[in-house]
Amino acid sequence: MTTIEKIKLGKDGPLVSKLGLGCMRMSSTWGGPVNDENESIATIQAALDSGINFLNTGDFYGNGHNELLISKALKGRREDAFISVKFGAIFHNGQWIGLDLRPIAIKNFINYSLVRLGIDTIDLYQPCRMDNSVPVEDIIGTVADLIKEGKVRYLGVSEITAEQLRKANSIHPVTALEIGYSLADRQIEADLLPAAKELGINVVAFANTAEGLLTGEMKAPLAENDYHNHFSRFQGDNLLKNLEKVEVLKTLAKVKGCTPTQLAIAWVNAQGDHIMPLVSMSRRSRLPENIKAMEIVFTADELNILNTNFASGSILGSTYLQR
């Protein structure tokens, strides 16, 4: 059985698994159907059994459903998990309606999360993004106060700019940055990734398969009701040309005896000891494949093939990751 490597989170943080479990898809965040709850709970427990201790959630995933789910999965084994919670997003009837990052709101959010999770302290607490509606000093300062109160252990941030990251870290040490990162989405390599490395901040990288583009399973045209159609990356000629790029990934995966998805995760993993692939799963059957991806090693030539074909800007069109 594969042993999951442990890494130190931030300069003064704890040891966590190099592979993280994203729990979002276990709940209905965008108004879709809820996955089988028993299977989701079993998936979390199987991940913990395999050595994955980093669990990522948001208080707005399923309007609190996700936190309640994690609470059920962690009964009697709280110490086995490192829990990362995002806050700030406001949904109504399955629709995103904005952010609330006011200090008074954050102090409200944290108490509801603690009750739903059934715990006394959240390990990593982070605004889901920042939109300049509230000063960075107020947002980070409030989380810093929660750390002093013992309700939070470490500060995280998510989907922000290099300038915001530096400012946040100057107010209170940031332990982890959660951000979308994949072969298809490399824009953060210009300034955000170097800033995080310089400051000693770990990167929790989600969307490793670029919303399914890099799985090798996507085909054009997409069904009319497919949510991908909202983004120009998955429309018309853009999708056709992007899928041509994915053929390179599929060919290399075949040579290495793995799946394109495993290769996409492995590439993110290979970008540094301070970078953690965060993989969303809601079924136990997905665990072995994703864990196995952490064993894949690239030759210099293989990395060159991937980095050349998937150079920044080579994937046409945008997604929600480009704002």
Active-site amino acid positions: 61
Residue in the block written with tokens 């059934």: 118
Q: Would you state the structure tokens that stand for residue 297, as one six-digit string?
A: 């090693």
Strands (DSSP E) contained in the chain are 6-8, 15-17, 20-22, 54-58, 82-87, 89-92, 95-99, 122-127, 152-158, 174-180, 202-206, 275-280
Neighbours of 179 (CB within 10 A): 24
Q: Which of 184, 203, 183 is nearest to 192 (CA)?
A: 203
Count the helix, strand and coil residues of the chain and give each as a percent rounded to the nearest 5: 45, 20, 35
Residue 130 and residue 162: Cα distance in Å, rounded?
12
Q: Which of 192, 258, 180 is nearest to 24 (CA)?
A: 180
Q: Which of 176, 135, 142, 172 is nearest to 16 (CA)?
A: 176
